[in-house]
Structure 1
């Protein structure tokens, strides 16, 4: 299924760096009219979809012919690919031969019905990974998850089916490079779009309307977690951190999420986390089920005193950069791509233990000077490394190499 996209202009990003924009225009000159297809599992929910909504229109504005195809598959397929996702992140699970056969079958069907006639095809994550088995082309695999210690039994079974069909494999960190991709692997961190509804500067009136609608008190400190309902996000630990702090200071916890189409497990975890939180009125569950979209997420991050992220595995965690971009420090566990974004003691704190996470947040809340300084540093880090222009530059260079 082809995704319809808005138009964007690269010139609008000159406020980040005029030199970067000029470099992008120059890089794209040799790629005019080159057809590039991105393939992923869903057009809504999760960081991959958000990235593509920005990157593909900008590729088109630079003169490429970039398009986006989304897999067509039943829920049974996404149950299987969620298992594969978890196995790639190290979970000890089994994948039956029947499940593997069904995974292959759906990839084959999509290879036949999606528009994949292009100069370069970029496959995102495990769901469409097998498509190159059934359709020739110049393929790049873009892996957005933490593969630093995969379940090798499942990894080998799945990856070796199609690895030779790929010209490049892109991972957030070098620590994620695994055989048989090491010879073609590239370190490739993602980005946030500073002009998207989730990251652009909102008016005070817009923020006030959103805050009042969802009953949040601006006169008390606000801790915000933005994460999918996924076992790796460990949202129970976030609630535990909040409960420890609640005994010391009058605070609120915002748990902000979207229910992704390709993650059926999320609904089960959502109910489990709701039960775990109980009836505490200062824990706010703010999801698309309550009308929360990108402007609302933006507002919640903007009004936050501090961001919290308790994931035990994290491919990158774009929500960290989103919070930092709003000038707020973040306290998080030092896992995966979080280590690239948070410099301990500079724009937040890296802690693992629940009590240490709570202590770090308490220090930020109580020390306004520290909070202000960390907030300034937070925005600097994102502007330098994790905005759209840097990411787009990496894509144009890798596409040039592949063709």
Structure 2
């Protein structure tokens, strides 16, 4: 059996607005806003250089249905480069870039096939190997029904069958649940590869056959941490090999810095600089949160001398703007700092109670905020990281209030 080679990418979110990045210098903010285009350029350049048999884009090319002319033009330019290189492209639009959006459309070159709202199967031949690709595009933003039921079962032992689906596992509420499916429903179709999109975390749900989320091409905020990119896949009827290709122009991440025994500010600044330099070496440009851990009484006494905002300002001045540029978005003190600064029995008791709350407890406590009709559009899904941050902030506020009462 012949082996084919293709690129699987999804969730490009071109022209993402990157909200909430207060304090970032204007030129750096512009670089951040262009980072989705920079990541897209890396994708196109890699494809032109390596010449895969075809490319799959599994939804959310654009960040919103009202895509700009500039964004569409840049995407079209990339498709034209692939057309010149003889690389077919198959596109399945998702919930962010659904077909029902209102925008001035650009005509795409002949190498691009865009699936419509009905599940269809496209046939192509790669060096004598027949390949069948099935997929569909969202007609509107909210697709709640199980579109997987409309996909045909693979027939014929010789052809390679690939399914493209922008959606999520039924019951997985880490993302909004659209076009839900179960792993068994995918396997029942007997395809050789499932090219998924919608979930921004890179993951392989099944090995043989591969059921794959490549994640998004460029992280867009602090909850989309780590290097992002796409997969280059070699596939036959009996084997599959996946190679991850990094594409992030700017990497979001959280860095931990142990602070035990620190008693002078210059010690802390030097340690911060070393952590950031290590990050640069491995990731290049980035936007990071600094989590200060292992805070004993000595370190707690050091940090209590100045407010958190001043520590952050001094750190930004100290590290400067050397390339590749890393912006420290925020500093978070671990809860040990707050507990050591507020030693009353009441503080210990209340903090212990908060620390013992389950995810369901937190959802109940925060329901007035997350159920507010006007405010909910500014909030992400309540994740474990969000809960940890609220917990740390609540403990800090409690410590400050208790300190004022003593």
TM-score (structure 2 length as normaliser): 0.28
User: More strand per residue: 1 or 2?
Assistant: 2
The structure, 1 or 2, with the larger RCO (C-alpha pairs under 8 Å, 6+ apart) is 1
Higher helix proportion: 1
Output the TM-score relative to the length of structure 1.
0.28
